[in-house]
Chain A
Amino acid sequence: MSENEIDDNLDLRGVLCPINFVKTKLKLEEMQTGSILEVLLDKGDPMANVPRSVKEEGHKIIKVKKEDGDFFRVMIRKS
């Protein structure tokens, strides 16, 4: 997926649970259905919890990419 398909992004590196999820949720709420949000999440607790909670809220995780420096790039399609 190329960068320009992303409609919005959040850098949540260094943001702890559950604030990272709450920020993701609030951002998704103000976005249009079908648009794509990219979030950057640290490995460990944030990666273990945020994708799962986003999934439980009914959104679709369309891509996850591991980046150097112990963080992940996660793309979420709002439903």
Chain B
Amino acid sequence: MTLPKTIDLSAMKSGGLIKQKEKDFFAIRLRTPVGKISADHLNKIAEVSKKYGNGKLHLTVRQGIEIQGVTFDMIQTVRDELEEAGLRIGACGPRFRVATACPGAGICPNGLVDSAGLGLEVDETFFGRAEGLDLPHKFKVAIAGCTSCCPKPQENDFGYQGQIEPELIEADCDSCGVCEVTCKEGAIVMGENGLPIRDESKCIYCGDCIKSCPTDAWVSKRVGLAAFIGGRFGRHPELGKKLADFVPPEKALDLIRSVLEFYKKEGKTGERLGVTVNRIGLDEVKRRVL
């Protein structure tokens, strides 16, 4: 196979090209952060796939799209055409991968935080080389808008999940008992004085009591992000461990940066963050990154 003159080899190194089993064919992985994509971009992808690929696309488990069946000599052309339309190429290898997130508060009735908006910010900030850190291994982030955790933040190297702390305005409560039957954690029982009592140790900060109270007696004391660290799938799956509760959304990028710097310093080449965390111990990690 001869290399086409126009191909930019340094651009290839940034990843997003997957060699197919079939000789000389590649799949091109696109960067579609939080799985949000415009209809125009989808049309463009369809057009490129028919023109240069085999008309088949793969929807990845991490909200990505891959254009399959592109021959080696067409890669640069495909890249250029996609980039002209404002579409970007994804990552493979030891890179900060495209951030995933659920639609969150803007769309989902359960959403407590704007997970999609935060995911886009995270992707814009760290995608690829993680601000030049060049990490020991791949790094995946997922952000969930609420405690249902649909996009699986605990299965990623780092995850955020929206949470809300309820507070009772006693004067507004008319003792109906709805919050007691609504709380799935059994954290609320009606006291003898007719007011609900919340057991902090059982509360998972889902906010169902706030949403269900007919008189708005339960209100939000604070909204924030639970942070999980060290989750992964693969051959030896492990769920991420709770790193912190109620990280203020405006500090969300700072905490990720702090974790990345720790990983860069302590992680052995080829070691996922979860293994590093297990080796060093969660308490020590907390002391270092929080």
List chain A positions with a Cβ less than 8 A from chain B.
Answer: 43-44, 47-48, 51-52, 55-56, 60-66, 72
Contacts and interface: CB of A to CB of B under 8 A. Distances in A.
Contacts, number: 37
Nearest to B176: A64
B181 A51 contact: no
10 contacts: A48-B181, A51-B212, A55-B214, A62-B214, A64-B177, A64-B178, A65-B176, A66-B177, A72-B178, A72-B181
Contact of A44 (B181, B214, B215): B181
Contacts of B212: 48, 51-52, 55
B211 A52 contact: yes
Nearest to A65: B176
In which size bucket is the chain B interface?
Answer: 10 to 19
Contacts of A66: 176-177, 181
In this complex, the member of B176, B177, B214, B215 whose beta carbon has the largest number of chain A beta carbons within 10 angstroms is B214
Interface of B: 109, 176-178, 181-182, 184, 208, 211-212, 214-215
Given A64-B214, A65-B176, A48 B109 contact: no
B211 A43 contact: no
A53 B52 CA distance: 48
Given A55-B214, A56-B109, A47 B181 contact: yes
A55 B181 CA distance: 17
